[in-house]
Amino acid sequence: MKEPNHDITPQEQMAEAMQAERPGEAQPAAPKEEKPSLWIECYTLLHDLVYILVFVTILFVFALRVVSVSGPSMYPTLVDRDYVALLSNVFYSGSDIQNGDVVVALAPRFDDEPIVKRVIATAGQTVDIDFTRGIVYVDGAALDEPYINEPTHLQFDSRGVTFPLTVEEGHVFLMGDNRNNSSDSRLASIGQVDTRYILGKVLFVMMPGYDKVKDTRDFGRIGGVS
């Protein structure tokens, strides 16, 4: 038999007795965590959307531009009425410009509208074209051009520049991928383009134009441009 503990107070003895009478009594449940109200959730969502909108706005104002391609001169890489995103010249200029880049540029002596072409040669490089064989040479080496529509046969005669030519400092030589249907640096009124007139580098197609050759709008073309 358990000896009574004379060291505890009567109040403590009474509490022990009451607990012994209710051995299976459950402990009080922890208070439920209150869920945030609907207006708080809406405010949080709106707050996040504002930050996203500000970020996208800054991105498209300073880093990216959206332009529409006009004409077939870059076919098959780009199609008339393609909408493309380009890296702005704020982040792409001078030494960033590389052979093979597709760029948007101004050609003030030729047209008020920007032109979309491919960089064939940069400052100090020598360009020559064998119009009979349709081969383009840069510094004596024939270019491997899987992106062109057909070999380069179009020559502008008296309206064209004279080959071979060496690209001046601060300039680039541009041509369209649709070589026989493109007004570009072969034409004297365009010639070598000052790099300060480069608006940016084409990164990807956002919305494809209607391909009249294939008679379709190919959404599979959405993506990077090379």
Average pLDDT over residues 70-85: 96
Name which residue leads in pLDDT, 3 or 191: 191
- Domain ranges, ordered by start, for the chain: 60-209
Residue 91 Cα distances to 27, 64, 115, angstroms: 65, 9, 19
36 pLDDT tier (thresholds 50, 70, 90): low
Write down the mean pLDDT value for the chain. Answer: 87
Q: Which residues are within 8 A (CB) of 136 and not within 5 positions of it... i.e. 6 or more apart? A: 120, 127, 128, 129, 142, 143, 145, 152, 175
Told to judge if 32 belongs to the known catalytic residues of this protein, a careful annotator would answer no
pLDDT number for residue 5: 53
Please report, rounded to a whole number, the percentage of residues in the chain having pLDDT higher than 70. Answer: 81
Three-state secondary structure along 116-156? EEEEEEECCCEEEEECCCCEEEECCEECCCCCCCCCCCCCC
Is the per-residue pLDDT at 84 higher than 60?
Answer: yes
Residue 69 Cα distances to 145, 152, 205, 220, angstroms: 21, 21, 10, 17
25 pLDDT tier (thresholds 50, 70, 90): low
CB environment 86-113: b (16+ within 10 A), e (fewer) = bbbbeebeeeebeeebbbbbbbeebeee
- CATH code of the region 60-209: 2.10.109.10
Told to judge if 201 belongs to the known catalytic residues of this protein, a careful annotator would answer no
138 pLDDT tier (thresholds 50, 70, 90): very high
| 3-state DSSP assignment of residue 92 | coil
Name which residue leads in pLDDT, 66 or 11: 66
Name which residue leads in pLDDT, 42 or 129: 129
Query: Which of 35, 37, 70, 117 is an active site residue?
Result: 117
Report the alpha-carbon distance of residue 39 to residue 184 in Å, rounded: 58
Query: Which of 73, 182, 183, 185 is an active site residue?
Result: 73
Name which residue leads in pLDDT, 224 or 110: 224
197 pLDDT tier (thresholds 50, 70, 90): very high
